[in-house]
Structure 1
Amino acid sequence: MRAFCLLFTFSLIFSIGYTQDIQSTLEKADDFYQSNPQEKLYLHLDKYAYTAGETIWFKAYTTIGIHNFFSNLSGIANVELISPSNEVVAAIKIPLITGLGMGDLLLSDTIVEGSYRIRAYSNWMRNYDDTYFYDRTVQISNGRLDNVLTTTSVVSEEKDHRYSITLKSFAGNALAKTSVRYEIMDGGKVVDKGRTTSDEAGVATIKVNKKHQTALIQLRFENMEKMNVTKLIKAQIPQQNNQVQIFPEGGKLLVNAVNNIGVKAIQPNGLGVKAKLVVLAGADTIVSVQTNELGMGASSLFLSENTTLKAFGEFSDGSRVEVPVPEIATSGYALLVNNLNPSKVYAQLNVSPDLIDQKDMYFVVQHLGQVYFVSKQKLTKNELVYAVDKSKLPTGVVTISILNDQFMPVVERAFFSYKPENILPVEVKLDKEGYGNREKVNVKLNVGTPGDSIRYAALSASVVDLSKIKDEYSLAPNILSTLLLSSDLKGFIENPGYYFNNEVNTVDLEFLMLTQGWRSIDWKDLDTTAKHKFEPEKSLKISGYTKKLGRKAAEPNASVQLISTKNFMNFIDTLSSEDGYFEFDELLFPDSVKFLVSAKNEKGKNNIDIEINSEEKPALSVNRNAALERSDINDFYKDEISNSKQFFGELERNGLMERAIAIEEVVVRAKKKRAAENSSNLNGSGNADQIISAEDLSTCSTLEMCLAGRLMGVMFQGGIPYNTRGNVPMQVVLDGMYIEADQLSMINVADVESVEVLRNINYTAIYGSYGGNGLLIITSKTGASAMRSFTPKGLVTIQPQGIHVNRTFYKPAYDVSDEAKFNRDLRTTIHWEPSLVADKDGQTSFQFFTSDGKGKYVMVIEGIDLGGRIGRKAIEFEVK
């Protein structure tokens, strides 16, 4: 590919007599492109909103560059679930094989309702702005253990915003006279906290200082079943006007020239709103622009000298706002691009008279340094017109760069290049036009065209009961909008699926490109020698340093072994370097596997300290899709929660799902016992699901003997505490130190002041990934040492994050006589098929059974072929 691009570029250069300097610049741009490949990642989710107890199923597609070939660069993808309070509550690693992977995220019974983010990235992608990570906002409700609906209203007062939050049960009963603790969080810090009590109607009132415009209000209270509930309320900004912005094409309005402008009208919540922009020169209207439903539009206007402009926006409710007009420049460049011609892209460069210097100007069409077209004109007049054949361009976001004789851009503009032949045709055939309940549906897929030389493709399919979702699936992010658009644009894109809903909306895409920032290169710094901080992650790695015992100095040439605790005969070894560094790479192991790392110096002695490198996670930036964040999720999705409760009941009855946690497991009477005041509990001493005091421990000889059978929702296996919710080992924290669970036997029970059990996500979320399986917080008596003094030398136990072990999607088969029968089948996700592969003829098939739900179902097929063509097809069918 590189040889072809260079040959194509050079042939253009030599054919029109370019100088060696422009050739050198283009070579640098191509070298930059080759050394900085753009890796993109998309997750096809099974549906659009979820509730506690469900699983988020996904298929990962990872591609390289604008041509979207399957990526062989990375072998691991990181997938995270980020809470409304901007904390990672789940993180998994999935293997990528030729750019493809699968995974799932189980939503615990105790997850707090709210707007969550699913973020996915490869290690290589971390070298660039996290704006280009896959980052999608999904709504998650909880009717599993929460069972409380909130409705929030806000009124602006002199200094505060007064929030009125109504608390009701799912049956509609008010939570009257309920004590509510609250915290106001802004910028990740608690800026205010207190208590309030709901009135007879269940309304709790909280005041938030107006300076905290982006605050998050966290509520804690007991529901009618006496279970702890946490709610997160997103700050609302009442009584603000809509806004309208003007974006000159090319960044500048130029006098005595025709200028293109983009228009964007937004509501206070960040969502677009339909509006009309009127621009006046004196008393005369020189342009009037009507936006689309997403608040975007465009127009052109000619600006004479000494023109004074005023502008205002009008909205359907009759309101009107004044609109700032960009400064009109008397010197500079302005660009007009026409991308609506079916065969060519035209660009006109307008130049002020003082800059007409007879020197060369270069018209370059490129994507992150990969050049697709170059032409040259001398700057002899105030208008230069360029054109490029669309057949020479790929499909996706490309950039027009106008370079001066010093090969620096004077103006740039991104546009969406579209060629229908770059989209993978997907044909879906059902064996019937309509279906009944619990009836088998046979689906045949055909991708590509008979003229294609290659028709192999990787595909995934989801089927959803439309009657059980509130979200408009045609507007949600999809594989086309993500890999062709979002991966190259900055900021929030409202309703990205709108531009690729079974066809490409080229007109509205132009409006979007005029009002959105994009991913670009810095022509001044095309450095290809700088070492990247993050290398492509092909497999898992464990690394660290060997150091002299009790010292910071390195222990070089130490023999280091990595031993699996699953099989002590299975180990690998290496030598540490002169600075003590050692590394075990090309590893693949599942999550929750423990290893021993042992080391001996050159004399065969184990007098060595071993320091294991911890994985550095990317920072959590502000949600770029914050406009999609909501409060009162349970109330919005209460019908869906009701359906899910009934379906969960069927799963529990058939032994396919654990029952919701018994009320006794979180009864607050255990909190009457006091935890140690010096507890390291990050929630604060005593804020736990259960507390075991020193008095409770006084009759036991060992700590495990004291705790076994006393901890609700915890069982001991081989001396290790396991959370019964998922049967996973819990994290043990001793006096603020994370220790291995099997070290409980080394703790002197007489020296323990208290043990706090954290299982509810209200308490575990603050620990991030360490709290995913629950924690035991053990606090020693003041002045006592709860651990025996023996510390092994040259040996450490580690539990690095491994590869996620996928769950199995449950598929009922109603044509099998011994199949577990549901009394009521109220699934929302009817079917999930992540591993479809189209053969050499472009064909594949699958089958599934409908549920008891009647009405319309939607089937979404997404995928990519070996030529990098992306395909998507969404069809609806009827179940009667």
Structure 2
Amino acid sequence: MRFLLVFFVLLLSNSVYSQDIQKVLDNMEAYRDRNPQEKLYLHLDKYAYTAGETIWFKAYATIGLHNLFSNHSGIAYVELIDGAKKTVSSMTIPLVMGLGMGDFKLQDTITEGSYRLRAYTNWMRNADEKYFYDRTIQISNGRTDNVMTKTSVRAEGKDNIYTVQLKSLSGLPLAKKQVRYEILSGGGTVERKRGNTDEEGNLLVSLSKKYGEAQLKLRFDNLEMLPVNKLLRMVPPDLANSVQLLPEGGKLLGDKINNIAVKAITPKGMGIKAKVIFTVGRDTAGVVETNTLGMGAGYIFIQPNTPIVARAEFEDGSVVDVAMPEVYTSGYAITVNNQNGSKVFAQLNVSNDLVNQKEVYFVLHHLSEVIFVSKQKVNKDELVFSVDKKMMPTGVLTISILDEGFQPIAERPFFNYNSNTVLPVAVHLNKEHFAARERVKVDMRVGDESDSIRFGAFSASVIDLSKIKDSVSLAPNIMSTLLLNSDLNGYIENPGYYFDLKGVKSRDLDLLMLTQGWRNVDWRELEGDVKPKYDVEKALKISGYTKKLGRTKPEVGAKVQLISTKNYMDFVDTTSNEEGYFEFGNLLFPDSVKFLISARDANKGKNNIDIVIDKEEKPLVGNNRNRGDELADVNAVYIDQINQSKQFFSELEGKGLMEKSIAIEEVVVRASTKKKVAENSSNLNGPGNADQVLTSEELSTCPTLDMCLAGRLMGVTFVGGVPYNTRGNVPMQIVLDGMYLEGDQLSMINVNDIESIEVLRNANYTSIYGVNGGNGLLIITSKTGLSAMRSYVPKGIMTVQPQGLHVNREFYKPVYDVEGGNKLNRDLRTTIHWEPNIVADKSGKASFEFFTADGKGRYVMIIEGLDLSGRILRKLVELDVR
């Protein structure tokens, strides 16, 4: 159908459809088939959270420009990343026909700050991290933190002096408090110091200007004598607003009228209103004013060999000179008019020396999915093309103009909006107004009467607007993510601004296209058959290599067996190949499951084999592209939400629905008495950061390790030689030189080979290990750092615990009109309801219900999802609770 359309258009243009351009189109189609675009979107229950709450989300995976449910990948990865680019929690979720769910329980000890939620599939890694789902959220802490910060900065000589004021949530200053702090820059710690707050709770930190932007990591005790961590971004005071000038199509041509886009930003990367004045000598050549997001564009005539000066005036009164882009005397430039209601017009401007009667090709496409093709001869210095909007789908499309050798000479993205992309929906509530704790029934019907089938999958959250600081209309949503963020790179401020119930803000979207980088096809790869680096993952796998004992040579044809420790009768067999590689694929297992892997050689069935398991390679965490959404002093910004959540948590604790805030036990180690810990300790918190440390000297008189440790470890008992955490009476995880062992293997470790043992029991030390740290850990480091198990060398067998699939928890739903139902004395919920499993039947009908809380005023219901045709649904419904 697509090629019929292309052929039809070319016939209309009276062009000869050459075999050469057909080969290019064939290559583009093959490239698209090899590299389908997969996208991910997470619908969150709300926009900001506090410690003790849960981040609830529904994942939507789509494929291609038309956003059909993706059956490409079977699993997705979701990560919670802190301000220091450290992954504090991660999970693997199954995707069934492009749909998945998950939840992050926020630890009581989580550090307040701006965090990132990043989600991707293994296939999406073939593009770039900047096209992952990546959203900045704010997390405050009123559970174990209870401290607000207020930061300010001034320049003084070669240093910047930062003042950090520490106050309790009630406003009391943390006076005369000792604070340990680190300054982080360039991916590492550049300074470690100590200081004391004054009577007003102020801590002064001096930072050399050579470090520019850095991060300040604080550690101190709050008024309740609980340890508190803070991570603050240190922004220099002398940064100024800036302006970029971006010629449409990338080039300014002399002796032509050129469209120049303007992007004005603050030091934080946020848009700022500005006016840019272009002058030639004493004459004004043009003026461009930006919108409130700092974007604008205007036409100016570029006179050859005549210098142009640009100067920007900002709404805050500051003024800066702006560097002009280079002016070319030879080349091509493109201008696009997308504001016409029925057509898109593009004009190719050509310098006089290139008017050569050769052919150029106009290709409208999305990542090589061709929508329209035409060609003209370069017989004049201005060539005009137009395309009917009715034939174009919604999304970021690219106009590429190719020369006679089919190489791009000018390209320009633009956003097309087709109302057929939006899924119509009618939402009916059982009442016009509601009282507190009243049942709300929601009936939905999606699609049009003309639709033969109206199946779709959706999710809904209901939030109390009085408890939300963030703008629902400006926040990222399913439309902005699937239609914009998945194709643009860089920061998009207030992405929800571009979409509303009436359609899109067409002019502002075009300014965004002029000032933003975009995802495009690599024309050099079209003719090749380059195999993608990352495979499609339908399920989990465990893989590795079998090697001859103590050697690097592979053990070919080894019989390898995977056995679940949950059920020793549940096993899978395979054989290693000529490289010793083996793989157990198509696995589906929940998180925290351990496996035994055994291997025997093919000839004699001996287990004299080394097994090496492939380590899971995670994509690197780069800089936050949404840095403009990061906030300083998050606790202070969200103090109202913290206080409301404290009341709600108190109610849940009284009902036994939530554990009381964790009281952190801390061992204070003084420098003069600090025990020597192995420098090569695998402790993820850092060597010595533990609840208790034992050194080799304290172990020198013991016959076996389990006998030696019994009675010496605080909060640890031994049952059958296995260490148990007295908090919950659960078996602890053993980690030997970074290798995870079963508890019953403890007695097999030679005591004389051990340099140190670190005990991790409390959440401030165990949380970094995720699910592996839930029961506490013993971190054992050998004297060599290689292996302390010299007296016990396991051959042909090992234990592995890969990350399995996340097991979803249930959202708590109080019921007030049923005797014996879940009820709260004070219902102060912020997220009133979370409904991730809404499915419309063939007639488009779906329904759900919930109860209002005690909060009165306006609630908002946010419904999002897709139907089987890829039409996107986003609906906001306000409820009046009186």
TM-score (norm 1): 0.94
Per the alignment, do residues 20 and 751 of structure 1 end up closer, same or farther by CA in structure 2, a change over 3 Å counting?
A: closer
Q: In the aligned structure 1, how far is the partner of 2:643 from the partner of 2:711?
A: 34
Match of 2:601 in 1: 601
Contact 2:740-2:800 at 8 Å conserved across structures: no
| 1:549-600 deviation line (CA, Å, top 9, x unaligned) | 1111111111111111111111111111122111111110001111111111
Q: Aligned partners of 1:264, 1:63: CA distance in 2, in Å?
A: 31
Distance in 1, matches of 2:774 and 2:618, equals: 16
Query: Is 301-310 or 266-275 further displaced after alignment?
Result: 301-310
Aligned equivalent of 1:564: 564
Q: Paired residue for 1:274? A: 273
**Counterpart residue number, 2:167:** 168
Aligned to 2:35: 36
Q: Is the 8 A contact 1:697 1:706 kept in 2?
A: yes
Instruction: Give the fraction of aligned pairs with identical amino acids, expressed as a percent.
Output: 62
Q: Name the CA distance, whole Å, in 1 between partners of 2:822 and 2:718.
A: 32
Q: Relative to structure 2, which stretch is displaced further, 248-257 or 591-600?
A: 248-257
**SS of equivalent residue, structure 2 residue 507:** helix
Partners of 1:555 and 1:669 lie apart in 2 by 49
Tell me the amino acid that sits aligned with residue 266 of structure 2. Answer: Q
Out of 812, 815, 829, the residue aligned to residue 831 of structure 2 is 829
- Alpha-carbon separation, structure 2, partners of 1:108 and 1:675: 29
Name the residue aligned to 2:619. 618
Deviation at 1:704, TM superposition (A): 5.9
Partner residue in 2 for 1:425: 424
What's 1:17 paired with? Answer: 16
C-alpha distance after superposition, 1:436-460 (max 9, x if no partner) = 1111111111211112223111100
676-685 or 766-775, which moves further after superposition? 766-775
Aligned partner of 2:868 in structure 1 is 866
2:79–2:90 CA contact under 8 A, matched in 1: yes
**More deviation, 485-494/12-21:** 12-21
User: What are the superposed Cα offsets for residues 657-711 of structure 1, whole Å, 9 maximum, x if unpaired?
Assistant: 1121135x33648999744432614545432234467899899997667878986
Contact 2:814 2:824 in 1 (8 A): no
Q: Is the 8 A contact 1:562 1:573 kept in 2?
A: yes
Shift of 1:360: 0.8
Shift of 1:341: 0.8
Matches of residues 126-137 of structure 1 in structure 2 within 5 Å? 126-137=125-136
> Structure 1 residues 779 and 408 mapped into 2: Cα distance closer, same or farther (>3 Å)?
closer
Partner residue of 2:803?
801
1:849 counterpart = 2:851: yes
Q: Separation in 2 of the partners of 1:216 and 1:275?
A: 30
Higher mean C-alpha displacement, 431-440 vs 360-369: 431-440
Instruction: Give the whole-Å Cα distance in 1 for the aligned partners of 2:635 and 2:728.
Output: 25
Task: Report the equivalent of 2:438.
Answer: 439
Q: How far did 1:131 drift? A: 0.8
Residue type of the partner of 1:267? T
Task: Indicate the SS of the match to 1:498.
Answer: helix
Once the two structures are superposed, what CA deviation does each residue of 1:189-233 show, in whole Å capped at 9, x if it has no partner? 111111111111111111111122231111111112222111001
Is it true that 1:687 corresponds to 2:686 in the alignment? Answer: no
1:649-660 to 2 correspondences below 5 Å: 649-660=650-661
Give the 3 Å change call, closer, same or farther, for CA 793–703 of structure 1 in structure 2.
closer
Q: Which residue of structure 2 lines up, in the alignment, with residue 142 of structure 1?
A: 141
Q: Give the SS at the match of 2:828.
A: coil
- CA displacement 1:300-319 (0-9 Å, x = unmatched): 12233343311211122322
User: Using the alignment, how far apart are the partners of 1:655 and 1:324 within structure 2?
Assistant: 64
Residue 65 of structure 1 aligns with which residue?
Answer: 64
2-structure distance, mates of 1:781, 1:381: 79
Residue 662 of structure 1 aligns to a residue in which SS? coil
SS in 2 for 1:300: strand
- CA deviation vs aligned residue, 1:74-95 (integer Å, no higher than 9, x gap): 0000011111111111111000
> Displacement of 1:64 after TM fit?
0.7
8 A Cα contact 2:423 2:867, kept in partner: yes
**Residue matched to 1:677:** 677
Single out whichever of 740-749 and 196-205 deviates more from structure 2.
Answer: 740-749
Instruction: Give the Å deviation of 1:528.
Output: 4.5
CA distance in 2, matches of 1:377, 1:266: 40
CA RMSD of aligned residues (A): 2.7
Greater shift in the superposed pair: 859-868 or 601-610: 601-610
Q: CA deviation at 1:391?
A: 1.1
**Structure 2 partner of 1:107:** 106
- Distance in 2, Cα, partners of 1:7 & 1:392: 13
Distance in 2, Cα, partners of 1:821 & 1:308: 74
Q: Supply the distance in 1 between the matched residues of 2:19 and 2:774 (Cα, whole angstroms).
A: 59
C-alpha contact (below 8 Å) 1:253/1:334 kept by paired residues? yes
Alignment-derived partner of residue 583 in structure 1: 583
The amino acid that maps onto 2:101 is M
What is the distance in 2 between the residues matched to 1:783 and 1:637? 46
Helix, strand or coil for the counterpart of 2:480? helix
Does the CA-based 8 Å contact 1:675-1:754 persist in structure 2? no
Task: Go from structure 1 to structure 2 and tell me whether the alpha carbon gap of 1:839 and 1:401 turns closer, same or farther (over 3 Å shift).
Answer: same
Q: Confirm or deny that 1:414 pairs with 2:413.
A: yes
**Partner Cα distance (1:772, 1:25) in 2:** 56
CA distances 1:54-80 after superposition (whole Å, capped 9, x unpaired): 111100000111111111110000011
Look up the match of 1:644: 645
Work out whether residues 564 and 595 of structure 1, in 8 Å CA contact, stay in contact via their aligned partners in 2.
yes
Residue 670 and residue 324 in structure 1: after superposition, are their counterparts in 2 closer, same or farther (change >3 A)?
A: closer
SS of equivalent to 2:618:
coil
Q: Which runs of 5+ in 1 are unaligned?
A: none
Distance in 2, matches of 1:551 and 1:826, equals 63
The answer to whether the aligner puts 1:482 opposite 2:481 as a matched pair is: yes
Q: Displacement of 1:142 after TM fit?
A: 1.0
Runs of 5+ unmatched residues, structure 2: none
Q: How does 1:145-544 map to 2 (within 5 A)?
A: 145-502=144-501, 503-544=503-544
Whether the aligned pair in 1 keeps the contact of 2:592 and 2:772 (CA below 8 Å) is no
The 3 A distance-change label for structure 1 pair 716 and 827 is farther
759 and 290 in structure 1: CA distance in 2 versus 1, 3 angstrom threshold: farther
- Matched letter for residue 794 of structure 1: G
- Compare 134-143 and 277-286 and name the one that shifted more: 277-286
The answer to whether residue 16 in structure 2 is matched with residue 5 in structure 1 is no
| 1:47–1:462 contact (8 Å) kept in structure 2 | yes
Shift of 1:377: 1.0
* 2:95 matched residue in structure 1: 96
Give a deviation string over 1:444-499, Cα, whole Å, max 9, x none.
Answer: 11211112223111100001111112111211111000000110001111111111
Q: Is the 8 A contact 1:751 1:784 kept in 2?
A: no
Are 1:739 and 2:741 an aligned pair?
A: yes
Name the CA distance, whole Å, in 2 between partners of 1:784 and 1:416.
57
Deviation at 1:838, TM superposition (A): 1.1
CA positional deviation for 1:770: 6.2
The code of the aligned residue for 1:179 comes to Q
Q: Which amino acid aligns with 2:639?
A: K
Deviation, 1:725, is 8.6
Cα distance in 2 between the residues matched to 1:712 and 1:172: 37
The answer (yes or no) to whether the contact 1:280–1:309 under 8 Å persists in 2 is yes
Residues 463 and 833, structure 2, Cα contact 8 Å, conserved in 1: yes
1:115 CA displacement? 0.9
Cα distance between partner residues in 2 of 1:714 and 1:9: 73
Report the Cα distance in structure 1 between the residues aligned to 2:318 and 2:351, rounded to whole angstroms.
38
Confirm whether residue 125 of structure 1 aligns to residue 124 of structure 2: yes
Residue-by-residue CA offset, 1:799-854 (whole Å, 9 max, x unaligned): 11111111111111111221343221111111100110111121111111111112
> 1:530, CA displacement in angstroms?
1.6
How far apart are the structure 2 equivalents of 1:12 and 1:724? Answer: 76
1:479-520 CA distance string (max 9 Å, x none): 000000110001111111111133311111011001001001
Cα distance in structure 1, aligned partners of 2:27 and 2:490:
29
Normalised TM-score (structure 2): 0.94
CA distance in 1, matches of 2:521, 2:555: 44
In structure 1, C-alpha distance between the alignment counterparts of 2:711 and 2:294, rounded to whole Å: 61
Q: Distance in 2 between matches of 1:27 and 1:728?
A: 61
Q: Identify the residue that residue 551 of structure 1 maps to in structure 2.
A: 551
Q: SS where residue 480 of structure 1 aligns?
A: helix
Shift of 1:761: 6.0
**Cα distance in structure 2, aligned partners of 1:452 and 1:430:** 24
